[in-house]
Structure 1
Amino acid sequence: MDEKKLTHFNEQGRAQMVDVTQKEVTKRTATASARIEMQPETLTLIREGKMKKGDVLAVAQVAGIMAAKKTSDLIPMCHPLPLTKVDISFAEDGERALLVHATVATTYVTGVEMEALTAVTTAALTVYDMCKAVDKGMLIQNVALVAKTGGKNGDFLREEAAL
């Protein structure tokens, strides 16, 4: 098979879900990240658990996990996958930003990049939703695939300078 051929199109040139029937089952992981820039006071409220809507990071963590499991319902050509791990983590990035990471794993015939990206984006959007009453100017940025393992195309690791 020609490696350059686009596999998401059928013979009529219309979109199709790629046939993964013959692909090998392997362990696959993907990690994605996002950065949310905000006012220092907003980050303080999150850190101290004083946001009126509740524990921002706990709710965002659950939202990210739920989103990973629903990715094939949101992205038309994604295959539904049996996820074996979804982990959402947060870290402060200076006084004005929060980093969100999502790591997703499966043992299956196709990768979990879209699930990791959906998870991290939804977690970031949830932070925005829970904090927008005090900071409508938050900026979600640098959403990216950071790393992936498994599959016939092998591993991928983004250079930090690219973010």
Structure 2
Amino acid sequence: MGTITLSHALIENFIKIRFDTHDNIGSGPISLPAEELHTSSTWYTFDTPEGWKESDLTDALTGAAYAIQSFIPLFVRCDRTDIHVVPQVKAIHTGKPTIFIYDSYPGGIGLSEKIFSRWEDLLEKAAEHVKNCRCENGCPVCIGAQEEGVRMKKDVFTLLQTLIGGTTDVL
């Protein structure tokens, strides 16, 4: 068990959008305090893939984390909200891109520990799901609601395939 500190540094601005017309009706800076939770966790660290810009890796990691979180309940028989997935391009602990999975409960209840030995299976399942989704560019079913959809699905799939050591020319 360890203390997990979540940083919301990526959230710099908010945008207020009118619900029915999607008109932008305001925006501004937002500052959220860090959350601290003493719980159990596991993480997957890797070297930055060659040729990736930090912004592209951030977007791909966010989509990959969403896809991964969608399948954790199948691996550990829990509710989606019982466990969280947090991607960081340059994690404080490792200095490398890292995907953290932690229990949502103080003290932890052992869910993330069950993932420790199943990372490869989890990554493969997430990659397969992203690949087989019927959307073209990524959607809330496979990679979550991403702001930029043009290449997101391909980038997420490429990243997941890279992490499991597979080929990336299928999508």
TM-score in terms of structure 1 length: 0.37
TM-score in terms of structure 2 length: 0.36
Larger fraction in strand: 1
Question: Which fold has the larger relative contact order, with Cα–Cα distance below 8 Å and residues 6 or more apart in sequence?
Answer: 1
Larger Rg computed on CA atoms: 1
Larger fraction in helix: 2
